[in-house]
Amino acid sequence: MPARVSLKVTEGELKGKEYVYDERTTCILGRAPDCSPRIPDDKAHRAISRHHCLLDINPPDIRVRDFGSLNGTYVNGKKIGQRPKGQTAEEAAQVRLPEYDLNHGDQVQLAKTVFRVGVSVPVVCVHCFREIPNDQKRPSETASGIYQCVACREKAQKAGVQKPRRRPPSTCTMCGRDVSSEVTGNRQGEFICVACKADPFEILKGILKLANAGDKELLPIQGYVVKRELGRGGMGAAFLARHEKTGERVALKVMLPRVPASEHAKQSFLREMENTKLLKHRNIVQFKAGGCGNGTFFLAVEYCDRGTLAKLMQSHGGKLAIDDATGIVLQALDGLEYAHNAEIPYIKLIDGSIGRGRGLVHRDLKPSNIFLTGSGSGRIAKIGDYGLAKAFDMAGLSGCTRTGLAAGTPVFLPRQQVGNFKYAKPEVDVWAMAATLYYMLTGTVPRDFPKGRDPWQVVLQSKPVPIRQRDASIPRRLAEVIDQALIDEPEIGFKTALEFKLQLEHALR
């Protein structure tokens, strides 16, 4: 079982209700329809704001931030945020309030409604970090809170090593340094220290050396030689590599967790890799191989020789002509329509089990995730990192960083992804594609994000600016379709990629 976070209502009209989270998500507590959990919008709960507070959950971690509520949010009786009297919610959004880490047993109070936080962490072996089944917990416990699995116990007995009585210090899987100060909370698993993460190329060289020496976990990238770095991001770096025998060029990526990689998190992400591998479409970057070893996730994907859409825009002064922009988007929509309807082997079903399902949602579409090959009439647009950034995050490997001060501005996200990220539907990708087209044509994102204002509240409280207000030269019919696609309240304008594509084609005739 994965780590879990629960919120149980202990006081108020909703007393007895419980909400349980075992995956990475964000949610908003309040009375608005897009909140989850949603507080009833009735007289008994009128003291709770429509968008009261934001929760950033990455089990076993949970953070809370007041959204400038009228009556404040309290943690264990201490007020952590409230807007001044006479100030509107929009004015309150000009100040981003700090986040607070919550622990097991903490109480979060909104008016008369009180939530008690529960944190459940699976029992794992002190050495190999594999989860200990319930029926083996008692014989596996070597000291209070210290467990050793059967395999590690047998290995220790053969070596004449005594049973562990305390938890050994966490060490970096690359350099072996003690990283106990970098590992917080109850997390256990393989971890790479900050110093090693600073040089992804050295990490890649190290795992390639192990792969070429026959390490079973790293065999998928055996035989590749790195040529040069392609770029870096918040999760790692990408390199151009060539296979020694086949000569095939690939983009070889390393993804570095910000938190210890538990066995559950590893298996969750590896399943998503398998899902992505089955996506075969000319407008989706082909996944070649991937895996995990020494605390590092790696993958080899199709190399796109013309770089990203973001780079193309930069070379054209920040925006593109209508024919270029719409040509790229129409192709990318073909890739989306395919992926949203593809049969997928590993989907989390309603009952929590893993089984076959249909459709993958990208959830992170933006110009830097659309890649290009060829030129002129032969140019092909391909959606990259399909589902992998989302999967890395959903596995909990990116840490609690989605909504904090270090998080990026959510300029390509509809409001549906702020309030209920976990259950985002394919239509959020359609909205993001429309936002990308808007950006290509105007050089500006759909919403205005004033400096200093909380960007997450901007998404919730403001509407996209009509595209002809940015550039009056954009044809009216095209502008109407883009504006309709960017509606996200109360619902997203176009539900499917095909619907958006057909409307675009009609407007361009």
pLDDT at 61: 87
Question: Residues 464-492: what's their mean pLDDT?
Answer: 96
Q: What percentage of the chain reaches a pLDDT higher than 70?
A: 92
pLDDT at 90: 67
pLDDT score of 10 more than 90: yes
pLDDT at 266: 83
pLDDT at 186: 65
Token pair of 257 as six digits: 């967790």
In this structure, are residues 411 and 447 in contact, taking their beta carbons and an 8 Å threshold? yes
Question: Residues 419-443: what's their mean pLDDT?
Answer: 89
pLDDT at 261: 80
Is residue 401 very low, low, confident or very high in pLDDT (cuts 50, 70, 90)? low
Domain ranges of the chain: 4-120, 195-302, 309-508
**93 or 211, higher pLDDT:** 211
In this structure, are residues 350 and 363 in contact, taking their beta carbons and an 8 Å threshold? no
Q: Which residues of 55-81 are buried (b: 16+ CB within 10 A; e: fewer)?
A: bbbbbbbbbbbbbbbbbbbbbeeeebb
Token pair of 381 as six digits: 């647009």
SS in 3 state form for 439-504? HHHHCCCCCCCCCCCCHHHHHHHCCCCCHHHHCCCCCHHHHHHHHHHCCCCCCCCCCCHHHHHHHH
Indicate the average pLDDT of the chain.
Answer: 88
Between the alpha carbon of residue 227 and those of residues 218, 243, 415, the distances in Å are 19, 10, 41
Question: Residues 431-442: what's their mean pLDDT?
Answer: 98
pLDDT score of 388 more than 80: no
Is residue 95 very low, low, confident or very high in pLDDT (cuts 50, 70, 90)? low
pLDDT at 332: 98
pLDDT score of 331 more than 80: yes
CA angle (126, 127, 131) in 5-degree steps = 65
pLDDT at 383: 97
Is residue 423 very low, low, confident or very high in pLDDT (cuts 50, 70, 90)? low
pLDDT at 94: 64
**419 or 204, higher pLDDT:** 204
pTM of the model: 0.86
- Alpha-carbon dihedral 94, 98, 104, 110, rounded to 10 degrees: -30
The CATH number of the domain covering residues in 4-120: 2.60.200.20
Between the alpha carbon of residue 306 and those of residues 259, 334, 372, 381, 500, the distances in Å are 34, 20, 5, 10, 26
Q: What percentage of the chain reaches a pLDDT higher than 90?
A: 49
pLDDT score of 434 more than 70: yes
Lowest mean pLDDT among 63-77, 78-92, 191-205: 78-92
pLDDT at 406: 44
Residues 6 or more apart whose Cβ sits within 8 Å of residue 147: 123, 124, 125, 126, 132, 137, 140, 141
Give CA–CA dist 409/89, Å, rounded: 20
Place of tokens 């719409």: 326
| Distance separating the N- and C-terminal Cα atoms of the chain | 54
pLDDT at 437: 98
**303 or 263, higher pLDDT:** 303
pLDDT score of 286 more than 70: yes
pLDDT score of 52 more than 60: yes
- What is the CB neighbour count within 10 angstroms for residue 384? 25
Amino acid symbol at 232: R
- Upper half-sphere CA count for residue 111 (Cβ side, 13 Å): 19
Q: Which residues of 302-312 are buried (b: 16+ CB within 10 A; e: fewer)?
A: bbbebbbbbeb
pLDDT at 204: 92
- Upstream peptide bond of 490 is cis (omega within 30 degrees of 0): yes
pLDDT score of 246 more than 70: yes
pLDDT score of 168 more than 80: no
Residues 6 or more apart whose Cβ sits within 8 Å of residue 177: 171, 193, 195
pLDDT score of 399 more than 70: no
Considering the four listed CATH numbers 3.40.50.920, 3.10.20.30, 1.20.140.10, 1.10.510.10, the one that applies to the domain covering 309-508 is 1.10.510.10
pLDDT score of 203 more than 60: yes
Token pair of 439 as six digits: 């950006």
- Alpha-carbon dihedral 166, 24, 202, 128, rounded to 10 degrees: 30
Token pair of 184 as six digits: 């917080």
Question: Residues 1-16: what's their mean pLDDT?
Answer: 90
Token pair of 106 as six digits: 């903490």
Question: Residues 360-372: what's their mean pLDDT?
Answer: 92
Residue 16 phi/psi, 5-degree rounding, is: 105, -25
pLDDT score of 114 more than 60: yes
Burial class of residue 114 (count of CB atoms within 10 Å of its CB; 0-12, 13-18, 19+): middle
Residues 6 or more apart whose Cβ sits within 8 Å of residue 354: 271, 346, 347, 348
pLDDT score of 474 more than 60: yes
pLDDT score of 86 more than 80: no
Residue 491 phi/psi, 5-degree rounding, is: -130, 165
pLDDT at 130: 81
Question: Residues 330-354: what's their mean pLDDT?
Answer: 87
In this structure, are residues 17 and 35 in contact, taking their beta carbons and an 8 Å threshold? no
Q: What is the DSSP letter of 43?
A: G
Closest among 64, 69, 17, 62 to 38, alpha carbons compared: 17
Lowest mean pLDDT among 28-32, 56-60, 157-161, 391-395: 391-395
CATH 3.30.200.20 assigned to domain 195-302? The reply is: yes
